[in-house]
Structure 1
Amino acid sequence: MSPLFPALTEALADPDGTAAHRSALRFGDRSLTYGELATAAAPLAARIGEAGRIAVWATPTLETAVAVVAALLAGVPAVPLNPKSGGSELGHIVADSAPTLVLASAGDQLPPALSALERVDVDVDVRATRAAAAAAEVLDPGFSPEAPALVVYTSGTTGPPKGAVIPHRAVATTLDALADAWQWTGDDVLVHGLPLFHVHGLILGILGPLRRGGSVRHLGRFDVTGVTRELSAGATMLFGVPTMYHRIAETLPDDPALAKALARARLLVSGSAALPVHDHERIAEATGRRVIERYGMTETLMNTSVRADGEPRAGTVGVPLPGVELRLTEEDGTTALAAYDGETVGEIQVRGPNLFTEYLNRPDATAAAFTEDGWFRTGDMAVRDPDGYVRIVGRKATDLIKSGGYKIGAGEIENALLEHPGVREAAVTGEPDPDLGERIVAWIVPADAENPPLLAELADHVAVRLAPHKRPRVVHCLGALPRNDMGKIMKRALTHD
Structure 2
Amino acid sequence: MTVTTSANLPPIAQAAIARRNAPAIVSNGGAHQTYGQLLNSAALVHRRLVERSAVELEGQRIAFLCPPSFDFVAVQWGAWAARSIAVPLCTTHPPAELEYTLRDSGAAVVVYHPSFEDRLEPLREKLASVAWISLEDVMAAEDADETVSNAADLLSEEDEAAWKDRGALMIYTSGTTGKPKAVLTTHGNIQAQVKSLAEAWKFTPQDRILNVLPLHHVHALSMPLWSGATCEFMPFHAAHVWERWMSEKRDLTAFMAVPTVYAKLLQYYDTMSPTQQAAARDACRQFRLMVSGSAALPDGLFRKWEAVSGHQLLERYGMTEIGMALGNPYAGPRIPGTVGKPFPGVGISIRDASGADALADADGTVSGDLFVSGPQVFKEYWNKPEATQKELSADGWFRTGDLVSRDANGVHRILGRASVDIIKSSGYKISAPEIEREAMSCPIVKDIAVLGLKNEEYGETIAAMVVFAEGEEEANVATLKTFLKDKLAHYKIPRRYLAVKELPRNVMGKVNKKQLVGYFDDQQ
TM-score (norm 2): 0.85
The reply on whether 1:155 has 2:177 as its aligned counterpart is no
Q: How does 1:71-470 map to 2 (within 5 A)?
A: 71-109=79-117, 110-111=119-120, 112-114=122-124, 116=128, 117-120=130-133, 121=135, 122-123=138-139, 126-128=144-146, 130-131=148-149, 133=151, 136=154, 141=158, 143-196=162-215, 198-199=216-217, 203-230=218-245, 232=247, 233=249, 234-253=251-270, 254=272, 255-256=276-277, 257-332=279-354, 334-339=355-360, 345-371=367-393, 373-433=395-455, 436-450=458-472, 453-470=475-492
User: 1:123 corresponds to which letter in structure 2?
Assistant: M
Question: How many residue pairs were aligned?
Answer: 483
| Deviation, structure 1 residue 231 | 6.6
Deviates more, 1:229-238 or 1:456-465: 456-465
> Secondary structure of the residue that 1:123 maps to in structure 2?
helix
- The whole-number CA distance in structure 2 between the counterparts of 1:342 and 1:461 is 31
- The whole-number CA distance in structure 2 between the counterparts of 1:75 and 1:31 is 28
| Deviation, structure 1 residue 282 | 0.7
2:37 alignment counterpart: 36
- The whole-number CA distance in structure 2 between the counterparts of 1:129 and 1:293 is 39
| Deviation, structure 1 residue 435 | 5.5
2:4 alignment counterpart: none
- The whole-number CA distance in structure 2 between the counterparts of 1:434 and 1:130 is 68
User: 2:385 corresponds to which letter in structure 1?
Assistant: P
> Secondary structure of the residue that 1:496 maps to in structure 2?
helix
| Deviation, structure 1 residue 258 | 2.7
User: 1:166 corresponds to which letter in structure 2?
Assistant: T
| Deviation, structure 1 residue 80 | 0.6
| Deviation, structure 1 residue 191 | 0.4
Contact 2:39 2:74 in 1 (8 A): no
Deviates more, 1:84-93 or 1:316-325: 84-93
Per the alignment, do residues 231 and 454 of structure 1 end up closer, same or farther by CA in structure 2, a change over 3 Å counting? closer
Per the alignment, do residues 43 and 470 of structure 1 end up closer, same or farther by CA in structure 2, a change over 3 Å counting? same
| Deviation, structure 1 residue 147 | 0.9
Q: Deviations over 1:320-368 (max 9, x none)?
A: 1111111222234x12211275866422111111111011111111111
Q: Deviations over 1:9-60 (max 9, x none)?
A: 33xxxxxxxx222111111133211122122223333544652321111322
Deviates more, 1:450-459 or 1:35-44: 450-459
- The whole-number CA distance in structure 2 between the counterparts of 1:392 and 1:82 is 27
Q: Deviations over 1:218-259 (max 9, x none)?
A: 113443423441475211000111110111122233341332
User: 1:57 corresponds to which letter in structure 2?
Assistant: L
Contact 1:191 1:230 in 2 (8 A): no
User: 2:402 corresponds to which letter in structure 1?
Assistant: D
Q: Deviations over 1:98-131 (max 9, x none)?
A: 2221222345415132553223324295334635
- The whole-number CA distance in structure 2 between the counterparts of 1:89 and 1:435 is 38
Per the alignment, do residues 472 and 361 of structure 1 end up closer, same or farther by CA in structure 2, a change over 3 Å counting? same
- The whole-number CA distance in structure 2 between the counterparts of 1:129 and 1:473 is 63
1:14 alignment counterpart: none
| Deviation, structure 1 residue 134 | 7.8
Please list every run of 5 or more consecutive structure 1 residues that lacks an aligned counterpart in the other structure.
11-18
Q: Deviations over 1:170-220 (max 9, x none)?
A: 111111111122122221110021123x42xxx221211110011111113
Please list every run of 5 or more consecutive structure 2 residues that lacks an aligned counterpart in the other structure.
1-8, 51-55
Contact 2:36 2:147 in 1 (8 A): no
| Deviation, structure 1 residue 433 | 4.8
- The whole-number CA distance in structure 2 between the counterparts of 1:85 and 1:424 is 27
Per the alignment, do residues 452 and 176 of structure 1 end up closer, same or farther by CA in structure 2, a change over 3 Å counting? farther
Please give the root-mean-square deviation of Cα atoms over the aligned residues, in Å.
2.5
Contact 1:348 1:381 in 2 (8 A): yes
1:16 alignment counterpart: none
Deviates more, 1:225-234 or 1:425-434: 225-234
- The whole-number CA distance in structure 2 between the counterparts of 1:281 and 1:342 is 27
Deviates more, 1:387-396 or 1:107-116: 107-116
- Residue identity (%): 34
Contact 1:190 1:216 in 2 (8 A): yes
Contact 2:338 2:411 in 1 (8 A): yes
2:22 alignment counterpart: 22
